[in-house]
């Protein structure tokens, strides 16, 4: 895990300030007079984020924010108070001034309650067969019978899908799908963020495999709850999530029956080297890893229904990725659908295009699950 260390001016380590199976994620302020360092991170659960204070002279960190959820902070110049910007599944973002004891001194912004008729997802944690603890968010439909399942995924490094934040509740695509009778599940697989090096490192050298092992284990766990029909499982994602969607359909066809892949990376030699080589090395040093990690290596295994979505002026994942996948699928005689936006970049921005995309996504899953 990432931790804080105090060094002398000559570069010698004085002491480690934080310890344990949790991360100190970012420093916020340093009080040189009182010799105290403020930082954000988590100690009890990776689905939350809190403000902490630790002495430069040693001792245990003190958690200053107590309300469940996600907190960000700015410290007053005299270190008498801090601005707490926080939210949770049940609470939209608010801005409060708190004393250093954590008590509220002044409310800057309190959201006006509006009945959005949105049910927050349920947050769960479970263990895989290999003993790894994973976290999941589940959006349940109102239907009583077993419902088809849609996995909402990103799955890549540096990101977290499951957290105690208002953004989870107002994920309107997940809410829309649940409203139309689907169970929607998000699972933070190994390789994702905020869980330390041992959790993030297993994907090094080959992408798109370990991540899907955890996603399929998560589906088995979900099936044990009794309300999910695992014979009807779909998946969708964007960017790395689009890559995950394609790899799921191609390498786990017995599990995933339909998928919507948005702006997917399909061959890692064609993506940004500064990102890719952190995890795969170079194609010259790791040709087998690149082959195993490429969507193009598995197109002949497609059995489920596929919708490819991409903006033609995508400056992040270039449209060439989808074009190569389309040609490979055609060459393999595999049917698929496309949704191409000529004037969109990495994420559709125009209201008309976004509305069209959501309508087409819903119709695709209703037709195929």
Report the catalytic residues. Answer: 239, 314, 346
In the numeric block, which tokens belong to residue 247?
A: 């790899």
Buried b (16+ CB within 10 A) or exposed e, 44-67: eebbbbbbbbbebeeeebebbbeb
Q: Collect contacts of 268-277 with beta carbons under 8 A, ≥24 apart.
A: 268/207, 268/293, 268/294, 270/318, 270/320, 270/321, 270/324, 271/317, 271/321, 272/316
Question: Per the structure block, which two tokens stand in for 175?
Answer: 């809410």
- Please state, in angstroms and rounded to a whole number, the distance separating the CA atoms of residues 339 and 173: 17
Rounded Cα distance between 100 and 122, Å, is 32
- CA–CA gap between residue 7 and residue 274 (Å, rounded): 30
Q: Sheet containing 183-188: which strands, arranged edge to edge?
A: 122-127, 133-139, 183-188, 147-153, 228-238, 258-262, 305-311, 337-341
């Amino acid at each position: 895990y990432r931790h804080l260390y105090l060094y002398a001016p000559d570069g010698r380590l004085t002491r480690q300030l934080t310890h344990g199976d949790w991360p100190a994620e970012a420093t916020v302020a340093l009080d040189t007079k009182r010799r105290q360092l403020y930082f954000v991170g988590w100690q009890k659960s990776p689905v939350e984020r809190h403000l902490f204070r630790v002495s430069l002279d040693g001792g245990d960190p003190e958690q200053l924010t107590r309300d469940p959820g996600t907190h960000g902070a700015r410290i007053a110049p005299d270190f008498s108070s801090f601005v707490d910007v926080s939210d949770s599944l049940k609470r939209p973002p608010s801005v409060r001034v708190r004393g250093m004891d954590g008590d509220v001194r002044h409310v800057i912004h309190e959201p006006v309650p509006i009945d959005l008729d949105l049910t927050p997802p349920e947050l769960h944690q479970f263990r895989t067969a290999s003993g790894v603890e994973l976290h999941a968010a589940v959006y349940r439909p109102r239907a009583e019978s077993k419902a088809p399942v849609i996995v909402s995924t990103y799955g890549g490094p540096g990101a977290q899908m499951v957290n105690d934040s208002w953004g989870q509740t107002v994920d309107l695509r997940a809410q829309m799908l649940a409203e139309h009778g689907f169970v929607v599940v998000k699972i933070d697989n190994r390789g994702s963020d905020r869980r330390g090096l041992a959790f993030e490192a297993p994907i090094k050298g080959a992408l798109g495999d370990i991540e899907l092992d955890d996603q399929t284990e998560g589906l088995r766990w979900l099936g044990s709850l009794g309300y999910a029909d695992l014979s009807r499982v779909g998946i969708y994602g964007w960017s790395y999530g689009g890559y995950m969607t394609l790899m799921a359909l191609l390498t786990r066809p017995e599990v995933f029956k339909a998928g919507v892949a948005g702006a997917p990376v399909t061959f890692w030699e064609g993506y940004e080297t500064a990102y890719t080589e952190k995890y795969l090395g170079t194609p010259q040093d790791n040709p087998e890893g690149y082959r195993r990690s490429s969507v193009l290596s598995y197109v002949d295994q497609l059995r489920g229904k596929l919708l490819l979505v991409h903006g033609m002026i995508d400056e992040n994942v270039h449209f060439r990725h989808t074009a190569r996948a389309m040609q490979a699928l055609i060459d393999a005689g595999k049917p698929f659908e496309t949704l191409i936006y000529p004037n969109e970049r990495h994420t559709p921005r125009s209201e008309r295009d976004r509305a069209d995309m959501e309508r087409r996504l819903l119709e695709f899953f209703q037709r195929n699950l």
